[in-house]
Amino acid sequence: MTCDAIRDLFSGLLDGELPAAERARIEAHLTACADCRELWTLLVENRDALAAFPEVEPSPALQARLAAVVAPRRPLFVRLHLALMPRLQPALAVLSTILIAISMYAFHPDRTLIDRSISRRIHLAYSRVETLYVRAEGWTGRLGEMTSNVLDAVKPAKGDDGGGDRSQ
């Protein structure tokens, strides 16, 4: 095993969670590798030093202050708080624009004029799309003709075998 693989198993060895075969393999590596052995001794010393520290019980006042810090704070206006979140502002702007447009349409006194204008613009857009489609069909027909012309120009002549000496 490599040193990195052995070092990854150090925490399991410290906690006593490894099977005997892996422990034997790690101990064999530690006898051969000075760097890993030095790191292992430092880890064991740190574990023993931390275990020697006495346990301290925090005071009730400190526990109450820590609990107050961790306790979730509920905003007074939850919906307003959500509306002011930066990631929601673009969506809310679009939504308000749509609602304004719908309300302008719904409450406009001459709604029939708006309907006719929308219908006219839709028909104009549809006719432009049809025109573009017809032009595209014309281009595809021309491209088909050009393709056959290009292929005819690229084909070798009937007497040419394609692999002979062309320096003649």
Q: What is the mean pLDDT of each run of 10 residues along the chain (168 residues)?
A: 85 87 90 90 89 86 84 62 74 92 87 88 90 76 68 66 50
Domain hosting 27: range is: 3-53
Q: Is 32 inside a domain boundary? A: yes
Residues 6+ positions from 37 with CB-CB distance below 8 Å: 30, 31
- Of 53, 69, 85, the last residue of a domain is 53
Q: What is the pTM of this model?
A: 0.36
Q: Is 9 inside a domain boundary? A: yes
Residue-wise pLDDT for 10-19, tens only, equals 888 888 888 9
Number of neighbouring beta carbons within 10 Å of residue 26? 20
For the chain, what is the domain count? 2
- Helix residue ranges per DSSP H, 19-166: 20-32, 34-52, 60-70, 78-83, 89-106, 111-154
- Of 38, 53, 68, the last residue of a domain is 53
Q: Which two tokens stand for residue 43?
A: 């880890």
